[in-house]
Chain A
Amino acid sequence: MTDTPNDPKASGWYGEKYSANLKKRHKSERLFRRLGLSAILIALGLLGILLFSIVGKGYTAFIQTYITLDITFSESVIDKDGTRDPVKMRSASYGNLVRDALRKEFPEVTQRRDLRALFGLVSKDATQQLRKMIAADPSLIGKTIPVRMLASDDVDMFEKGYISRDVVQDDRRVKDNELEWLDALQADGAISTHFNTRFFTGGDSREPEMAGIWGAMVGSFYTLIVTFLISFPIGVMSAIYLEEFAPKNKLTDIIEVNINNLAAVPSIVFGLLGLAIFLNVAHLPRSAPLVGGMTLALMTLPTIIIASRAAIRAVPDSIRQAALGLGASPQQAAFHHILPLAMPGILTGTIIGLSQALGETAPLLMIGMVAFIADIPGGVFDPATVMPVQIFLWADSPERAFVEKTSGAIMVLLGFLIFMNAIAVVLRKKFERRW
């Protein structure tokens, strides 16, 4: 680029015509290079925007607003007859305790509509919480103690700054009178924010403030276990057969082409396969991790086979020959010598396949894993949902508070994916052998 002559009168290759042309060509060279670089930067920028918007929306999901009120566990509400019968106490109306406490805090509120708004500040979860407290310790009856209760999703959104005071009242989820009460509570120090443990320990809920992803995490876990147990042995066995034993014939050719094509079949088609075969023909339970895992296993199988074949192929032939020369049978050579050496590569491929399965949503929608399930699944036959489907369900919910829950769940899912891929990278780095 620095060849431009100092002497403009020079002729031939250094003539004015050529140097102008060269300048133009170098200019277009620079332009082209910049274009390439900017394509990469745009792609990375898009990735950055994606992650930034998820984290920006989602980090508040990990904290939750609580309201602390002095709850009087009055005997007249919990245990009218004074019998301390646990069954009766369980069915008492604990909501009244919260309402009484709020009424005491704001005696000036008397209108029925206002009262309803006032009671709405505290989450429905408070009832459950108080019931559990009494069940655990009946001696609380008759006492007055401060209790920290979940605030409703609207209060939570307001406290996190997602609902602005400046908006006209009609367009605002938190009305003027509620603002006043919240300010009063704030002044008393009754409103506090804490780490949202329930998000990591609870099941799904219709109420955003009570919703957690533990149920989906457990569902994902069971599904992945089933996927692994099916796809790993079958995938490795197919790979060994195709690489070590398969005769070169029509059938092997068909299997090869077939595996490559199967890897490119849209995932949703596997869902339809699962629906038609596992549910309608085999009558396995709907929404169960078993069926989800089987469907995903069929989907990840090509990935695992292709990776395993590459890993087996990478083991040098000398190992095989040495084993055979010492009297091992072909199968002993394959299982005792080649397979262990190929294992790091196979495991890397398997983990990558499983991380795809962990992020997969569409096929699971087909086999009914979209149902609303609040309970934590206890096994592979229980109805369950998985993390990506939970994200899909929350993303579809209209409540404002579910946006942050969705983003939070996405962050957790991405965390798991990063973790799995990191394991794959470490495996590859640590055990990969260059022959």
Chain B
Amino acid sequence: MSFFPLVIVLLLMCTAGYWYGSKKALSGVRNNSTSKFITSRPHQFGIYVFIWGMIPPVLLGLIWVVMKLTAGNLDQGLVQQIENVVFPVAIMLGAGAGLYFSIGRISPDLRVRKTIETLVYGVLIIASTISILTTVGIVLSLMFETVQFFGKVPLSEFFFGLTWSPQTALRADQVGSSGAFGSIPLFLGTMLITFIAMCVAVPLGLMSAIYMTEYASDRFRAVVKPLLEILAGIPTVVYGFFAALTVGVFFRDAGDAVGIAVSSESALAAGVVMGMMIIPFVSSLSDDIIMAVPQSLRDGSYGLGATKSETVRKVILPAALPGIVGAVLLAVSRAIGETMIVVMAAGFAANLTANPLEAVTTVTVQIVGLLVGDQEFDSAKTLAAFALALVLFVVTLTLNVIALLVVRKYREKYD
């Protein structure tokens, strides 16, 4: 029997169990003179039976899937036979047994609600641990491959090497067969692009936040804020396309016009567009932080005769500084992890340069470059991607933790 009919039969069985269970619970009260009421509502008895009917099939299904995944080479004919005959029969029997057992247990005194609620509570706990499992999964999977990578490439080369050319040769005697895994150029490239992005995003984002909170009328805010938020909602692939085809070309042509050679995949184009993407991020975070500065500080400053801009510069900004630093750190971590813009607009070649007009590459670009396309799984080339990702993960995590701590500490000061 194939999958879906089986599921439908199972559901029908359990639904019948639900109906019968709730009926039986009610009739138990009606016919029995000793107990005048039931401990739970009738439909909860039904659910109780339903769950009992579903548990054995689900367990059996899980066991079978795990067996199939772990056993490796099973005889196909045998697998077919089990799936077609043994498995459905086992499931039907299991479901039947579960239903029979639970219906037999139903009596007005059975505390079904308690049982169901305990089960639901367990499911809720499991659901909320999934986010932890995700983090553990990320760390473990990255660690596992990274350890393998450092078995092939020494730590010192990865962290201090100046050349990055991860090509793996087909034959051992080929030129450059060893590959070079010095990641310094990637980190420098990432920092360069991030720096450019911050040069765009921080002044623009901060100034718009100041204007929004201190100067703008409510109507202006209501219109402009959502418009700015659009910038954050545009998919990064769109920014990548814009950076590669519009901004990159514009900078190259502008460079040609004044006689400066600008690469069409310049760090400048990628950085500026990335900065553009981060503007709303900086501005909305700073907005919250500036709003959180107590009105009394402003009033005090105005009372002493300061103008609005003097208040902003001399009172509000210093008071909000820790929070703003936190916001900028969050923005930096966002920029470091950004992938599509740099994949499309920055280069793949690892240049060791600080010139924003040349092409540089970043950590995320290399991860994509190493893992897209055909891959053999234990080559240093693929494993390198995981090592880079681990570095990326650790750096962004550290930045976030610091930023959150800073922001939290700052909040406490005024709350």
Contact = CB atoms under 8 A, between A and B. Distances in A.
Interface in B80-121: 113, 117, 120-121
A413 B235 CA distance: 9
Contacts of B400: 260-261, 264
Contact of A40 (B125, B211, B245): B211
A328 B339 CA distance: 49
Contacts of A395: 237, 240-241, 244-245, 344
Contact of B204 (A39, A258, A362): A39
B390 to A, nearest CB: 9
B258 interface: no
Contacts of A410: 238, 241
A417 B232 CA distance: 12
Interface in B337-361: 337-340, 343-344
Interface stretch (B23-31, B51-59, B162-170, B222-230): B222-230
Contact of A241 (B128, B246, B283, B367): B128
A360 to B, nearest CB: 7
Nearest to B220: A40
Chain A interface category by residue count: 35 or more
Interface string A201-237: 0000000000000000000000000000000011001
Interface string A19-55: 0000001101101110111111011101101100110
B228 A43 contact: yes
Contacts of A31: 309
A43 B401 CA distance: 29
A419 interface: no
A366 to B, nearest CB: 6
Contact of A272 (B117, B135, B141, B245): B141
A265 B127 contact: no
A47 B123 CA distance: 45
Interface stretch (A76-84, A145-153, A183-191, A277-285): A277-285
A123 B117 CA distance: 65
A58 B338 CA distance: 25
A218 B211 CA distance: 43
Interface residues of B, number: 87
A395 B238 CA distance: 10
A268 B396 contact: no
B137 A277 contact: yes
Interface string A83-105: 00000000000000000000000
Nearest to A266: B337
Contact of A362 (B129, B236, B246): B236
B124 A265 contact: no
A389 B344 CA distance: 12
Contacts of A43: 204-205, 208, 228, 231, 276, 279-280, 283
B377 interface: yes
B294 interface: no
Contacts of B385: 272
Contact of A26 (B128, B212, B241, B307): B307
B215 A33 contact: yes
A272 B124 CA distance: 27
A87 B117 CA distance: 64
Given A270-B138, A272-B367, A359-B236, 15 more contacts: A33-B215, A39-B206, A40-B224, A43-B280, A234-B130, A238-B130, A255-B132, A266-B364, A272-B386, A275-B371, A361-B235, A361-B236, A362-B368, A366-B367, A366-B371
20 contacts: A31-B309, A36-B214, A39-B208, A40-B207, A40-B228, A44-B224, A46-B276, A53-B245, A238-B124, A238-B131, A265-B337, A273-B137, A329-B117, A359-B237, A361-B236, A391-B241, A392-B237, A395-B241, A413-B238, A417-B234
Interface of A: 25-26, 28-29, 31-33, 35-40, 42-44, 46-47, 49-50, 53-54, 57, 233-234, 237-238, 240-242, 245-246, 254-255, 258-262, 264-270, 272-273, 275-277, 280, 282-283, 298, 301-302, 305, 329, 331, 355, 358-362, 365-366, 370, 388-389, 391-392, 395-396, 403, 406-407, 410, 413-414, 417, 421
